[in-house]
Structure 1
């Protein structure tokens, strides 16, 4: 997979997730604000803290505590478990907390403090705010790289550059592995400059395929030789 296509796909995924989370966070915030505006207020007591542990796809475990709140409306006792858990716990058993409840259905209630009510929308919206522009940047960059690659394949000037080295790019990982890269150089007799071409990131070691070869095909922009494309497919 070419770098441009990779950026485009990853950018599209990140951007879509960001927009989705931002939309969910906004909807939750509006719903919470609407509920809080029409709700009645009373005081409740933290009756229990429920510990829940979850495991992410990477195997990392995290624990949060969810308070169960008891409150009374018109002599009738109700209780609910907060939808937001925290670590460390935000409350202790026996703490008094403000409660907002639906006057038409007192069993519908939530803790009336700002952070308890809006923590989930803030987290989801915050992640969305980060992911959406990041995805957009990656997507735009990917499209730009793809257009540049297409231009070089169609109109780039050809040169057979000398293979300088085959190495590993330790600055990044792809599917948990450091990718391989090939570097090659060529000398422009007209300008007296030496230019460097770097291959796209490769999942497999290209060394065995380059045995006995000293040069690779490079396509470059004559107006800007640093805009170049190493065509390893020409060796196959």
Structure 2
């Protein structure tokens, strides 16, 4: 069904977001029935804050998915050079995922861009060589909006990068 990290994120979203919506709805009903009392305002405020905290991970996930779909459909595909594999700076449940980093030099603006992959469970270092090219879809107007296409190199190397 869900991996450990996804399960945790879904549960936190349901708990905080759902409870926040219940408190928010209850507070709004209290305001409607008895006016803007202190209790009703606190109830509504606590619900709004809890819902905001609870649904923030969902909004971040949806925004990343929207950017990915947008750059795949309308973006520009560039070939970036493999740099290295690093551990993520964050950890989730004492797990630090691996990230593939690559670079691309924009000839027009003479800027060097560094791209990071999504989180990987296993270290792919033994499969990747220094001269490998990794396709990256970018937004030409804002190259900071990008998607590193690991499926393309997975199929060419005959491995699964997840």
TM-score band by shorter chain is 0.5 to 0.7
RMSD of Structure 2 on Structure 1 (CA): 2.8
Distance 1:182 1:15 in 2: 28
Secondary structure of the residue that 1:207 maps to in structure 2?
Answer: coil
Secondary structure of the residue that 2:101 maps to in structure 1?
Answer: strand
Distance 1:178 1:156 in 2: 30
Match of 1:101 in 2: none
1:174 aligned to 76, 81, 92, which one? Answer: 92
1:164·1:185 contact (CA, 8 Å) conserved in 2? Answer: yes
Distance 2:61 2:130 in 1: 34
Cα distance, 1:175 vs. partner?
4.4
Distance 1:129 1:203 in 2: 35
Gaps of 5+ in 1: 1-5, 31-125
Change (3 A) 1:210 1:134: same
Match of 1:78 in 2: none
Give the structure with the larger strand fraction. Answer: 1
Match of 2:148 in 1: 230
Match of 1:15 in 2: 13
Secondary structure of the residue that 1:210 maps to in structure 2?
Answer: coil
Equivalent residues in 2 for 1:187-206, closer than 5 Å? 187-206=105-124
1:163·1:216 contact (CA, 8 Å) conserved in 2? Answer: yes
Gaps of 5+ in 2: 1-5, 31-45, 155-162
Distance 2:136 2:148 in 1: 4
Larger RCO, structures 1/2 (Cα 8 Å, 6+ apart): 1
Distance 2:13 2:115 in 1: 31
Equivalent residues in 2 for 1:8-87, closer than 5 Å? 10=9, 12-21=10-19, 23=22
Give the structure with the larger helix fraction. Answer: 2
2:78 aligned to 159, 165, 169, which one? Answer: 159
Q: Which protein shows a greater Rg?
A: 1
Q: How many residues end up aligned between the 2 structures?
A: 130
1:18·1:130 contact (CA, 8 Å) conserved in 2? Answer: no
Distance 2:93 2:13 in 1: 20
Equivalent residues in 2 for 1:78-117, closer than 5 Å? none
